Structure 1
């Protein structure tokens, strides 16, 4: 009988198996439930408003560029003020920042729900509502690792992601029918109520915490914190790679921005364009929810990090097949598959948390969030302009090709960066 290789079969030297946290363990944490519920409530109202806006503009103008431009308006404000406002969550208590953002947004949505509100004022209020989402999202993202530690954070993020995608799917799929019944102003009033509900949930379920302490004991200005966050995010190779993974969404979110004109090419008179638009906009969130469930529940923490590159390529590869102009069922299947690949963002988010110190977490998350919004808004605007000339199907195909090439390059870069992060994940476990 051959001698046993030292360290291979000995329990003393064998690496312990990685444990996987269950969704039940995460939901059992009261503070997480409050953050989870509040986010879901406000997001549902937002999706109804987005569908109403997209269908209304395309019905009036029949212009893919105008539709994409108005849809992109919900992405662009954080580019201007998001990085600066996100630093508020590192300067002040994060719970307080979230509450003020919810209350101010509810007040502005109430003004928007008044039919007599002039259109320029309405646009300004939309801009401000979206802008306040930046400090709210940064505060919530920075608070979540304090509520959920270790792999609970990844599973909790997966659960939030699934919920967000399911809410988007519900809001987009039912949005056209709901707007037809409620009308646009009642939909805005409903969005106001969801912000108030989110604020009440935060007051009742999230405990007070002081502002994050800094190592030097100072409380620098918001501008200084923003600059420090930018140096942190872009001055470190691993973080730069993770940020580029996040910005990849600019390619695979593009089809949502031109869903209405794409739906017009698929309509055959039997199904209204508004219904097809909602189905198309719901396809990717559906896939992402499915991918997040499998990725968060059945894949080990290190397995998620190793699979990031392949999943990132999966987000764009199915879009290339739109070049063959498949029927509605085929387009939905391809877009759902693209959404499944979007689950790689969970691993990228967890790796980002591992590399960023808590005192600068909100500013770093805010910068990345603003970059995400910029990438999505820019992709939608470019896609709308291109669809005006080429048609929606070729534009979606080109976005898939460009995104697939970018994802392949990032996958190669990631193999050089992931070793140290995997070691940190194993040490934390």
Structure 2
């Protein structure tokens, strides 16, 4: 993969901007809390770094099908650089800060849709899954380092300076993409007389009418059940009588497992078997969390959460790869945008419900219920995916060109 200059450019630009984004999240939390003294304000602004992506994916993802995808990413990066630079201005009102942040996150959804739609052209055949695995491994590592490094950096610089650094990462990303990614024409397809928002609605209809993609999307979205433990790390550690160190170890378990799972699955499982194992691995990913019902202690919980993270990442990467392959190139921007928006929405809902369950039943029981719920949904979705493949609707996923089988 790294012999391909275009992938190096996409990968490098993503890591640069991701590091800046994680730094900006820490900086915004510190900046807002420092100015207001309100945990509610700090939490609200942090949520704004995620929530608008739901709307952006549905309403604006179609831009990646209407324009050259490299240019969509470059323009999104440059506009975000300007907006984040404005956010870095001292004394900016909180309401204006929030408004700018919403636009930045909306543009991030457009950028992600264009990148996801372009990647299969850059990495054909089995290289596509390997590319997704590499992105998952490195993005998890960057997030861990950036969160920790962001906290240390803010000891030396102000949050405004950190936001300015984030703006600079977008400029660097735009330059890398413009120079490193080749020119491609606008994707072909039907006439674009309708609005871009209508593209999102049409993408939902296309997915619902297509059994294999519908089943795969359910498998992708159910991973939301498996991220619930990370949100409950603090009360879970307190339930075990542990302190802040335990919270950090529990939160690190899932991303650490993700790195291992992404590597081993694509290293050890033959390419022709990965697609067939999506449903099975999705079910198994919930089992370690369900075992938290017996309250295995800190070390046992870390191992179980890490194992769940490894299994969920393994099946998620494969499900995403097949879903993208089964989508015609001219529709990938809007369809991937809708899928990403739904993933954000389901994660938010799952975390919210997990919090309610933890308050009523305790964090260990809430984690166990999340794991069991994921297994139930994974079983139904996996059977639907298997039926679609056997009927021939998902045959393209098993073709040599699609899965190197």
TM-score bucket (shorter structure): 0.7 to 0.9
Tell me the alpha carbon deviations over residues 173-220 of structure 1, each in whole angstroms, 9 at most, x when there is no partner. 555444455454343333222222211110110122221111x46564
Partner residue in 1 for 2:113: 138
The equivalences for 1:15-54 within 5 A come to 26-50=1-25
Change (3 A) 1:381 1:187: farther
The alignment status of 1:79 with 2:49, answered yes or no, reads: no
Change (3 A) 1:105 1:57: closer
The alignment status of 1:171 with 2:141, answered yes or no, reads: no
Partner residue in 1 for 2:137: 162
SS in 1 for 2:399: helix
Tell me the alpha carbon deviations over residues 6-33 of structure 1, each in whole angstroms, 9 at most, x when there is no partner. xxxxxxxxxxxxxxxxxxxx11000010
**Count of aligned pairs between the two proteins:** 397
Partner residue in 1 for 2:302: 332
| Alignment counterpart, residue 286 of structure 1, candidates 253, 256, 260 | 256
Q: CA deviation at 1:79?
A: 2.1
Q: Distance in 1 between matches of 2:353 and 2:163?
A: 28
Partner residue in 1 for 2:377: 406
> Does the 8 A contact of 1:174 with 1:278 survive in 2?
no
Unpaired segments ≥5 residues, structure 2: none
Change (3 A) 1:54 1:295: farther
Taking structure 2 as the reference length, what is the TM-score of the superposition? Answer: 0.87
Q: CA deviation at 1:151?
A: 1.1
Q: CA deviation at 1:267?
A: 6.9
Partner residue in 2 for 1:363: 334
Change (3 A) 1:189 1:382: farther
Structure 1, 201-210 or 259-268: larger mean CA deviation: 259-268
Q: CA deviation at 1:265?
A: 5.0
SS in 1 for 2:186: coil
Tell me the alpha carbon deviations over residues 381-405 of structure 1, each in whole angstroms, 9 at most, x when there is no partner. 3333444455433322221221122
> Does the 8 A contact of 2:57 with 2:334 survive in 1?
no
Taking structure 1 as the reference length, what is the TM-score of the superposition? Answer: 0.83
Unpaired segments ≥5 residues, structure 1: 1-25
Partner residue in 1 for 2:227: 253
Q: CA deviation at 1:138?
A: 0.5
Q: Rg larger in 1 or in 2?
A: 1
The alignment status of 1:196 with 2:171, answered yes or no, reads: yes
RMSD between superposed Cα atoms in Å: 2.9
Q: CA deviation at 1:278?
A: 4.2
SS in 2 for 1:197: helix
Q: CA deviation at 1:377?
A: 1.7
Q: Distance in 2 between matches of 1:48 and 1:263?
A: 26
| Alignment counterpart, residue 186 of structure 2, candidates 211, 228, 231 | 211
Q: CA deviation at 1:85?
A: 0.4
> Does the 8 A contact of 2:30 with 2:159 survive in 1?
no
